[in-house]
Amino acid sequence: MISIIECIGMLAGMLTTFSFLPQVIKIWHTRNVSSISLLMYSLFSFGVFLWLLYGISISSLSMIIFNGITLCLSLSILYLKIVIEAGPKAQGNS
Amino acid sequence: MISIIECIGMLAGMLTTFSFLPQVIKIWHTRNVSSISLLMYSLFSFGVFLWLLYGISISSLSMIIFNGITLCLSLSILYLKIVIEAGPKAQGNS
């Protein structure tokens, strides 16, 4: 039986992973990335990539899944930040 | 001796924790929060709070420290988002 502590950990993992989805959707719809920090998503994506390597190293399936999804979402934000600011309708500072 | 795997985990934790600092600094300087997702930082902060509870439950000092710092930074972004958008110089949608 899964303990209450493990349930808290599972819920925490789902929340911190899927919380990036509303940010991706917001940028996708508004094409506004002016207040998004390029440095934050660069460091964060590299950090999550290392968590993914760590998860693979210790054979933790939940770490691999959660960090794999988070990395996809984080790289999507980073990609949109770079592409939108490089485009003709760039909206501000980086 | 600390293994290379634990070094990767430590670096990953530092990167994903302190990556939020450039976002706080960017918002603080520009007062622009127009592309920051309120829903993302609400869900993320709650998720990190649960990771903190999890860390306390399993007595993991590194989880308590990293998630404590991440929670402070995430709540700072959430606070700035709400305060700046509620202020007289609000710059866009929420």
pLDDT at A88: 77
Block residue for tokens 């710059």: B91
Q: Is it the case that residue B83 has pLDDT exceeding 80?
A: yes
Q: How many A/B residue pairs have CB atoms within 8 Å?
A: 126
Contact assignment for B12 to A51 by CB distance below 8 Å: yes
N-to-C CA span, chain B: 49
Residue B48 pLDDT grade (very low, low, confident, very high; cuts 50, 70, 90): very high
| A58 → closest Cβ in B5, B11, B18 | B5
Other beta carbons within 10 angstroms of residue A9's beta carbon come to 21
- Over residues B40-56, the mean pLDDT reads 97
- pLDDT recorded at residue B87: 87
Give me A40's structure tokens: 């934050």
Judge: B30–A93 Cβ closer than 8 Å, yes or no: yes
pLDDT band at B2 (very low <50, low <70, confident <90, very high): confident
Q: Would you state the pLDDT for residue A36?
A: 98
Rounded Cα distance, A11 and A38, in Å: 28
Quick one: pLDDT band at residue A37, thresholds 50, 70, 90?
A: very high
Q: Is A78 on the interface with B (CB under 8 A)?
A: no
Contact at CB, A32 and B58, closer than 8 angstroms: no
What mean pLDDT is reported for chain A?
Answer: 92
In chain A, the residue whose alpha carbon lies closest to the alpha carbon of B19 is: A40
* Start-to-end Cα distance in chain A: 49
Domains of chain A: residue spans and CATH: 4-86 (1.20.1280.290)
Q: Among all chains, which residue has been given the structure tokens 């700035």?
A: B80
Does B62 touch chain A if contact means CB atoms closer than 8 Å? no
Partners of residue A53 in chain B, C-beta under 8 Å: 8, 12
What's the ipTM? 0.89
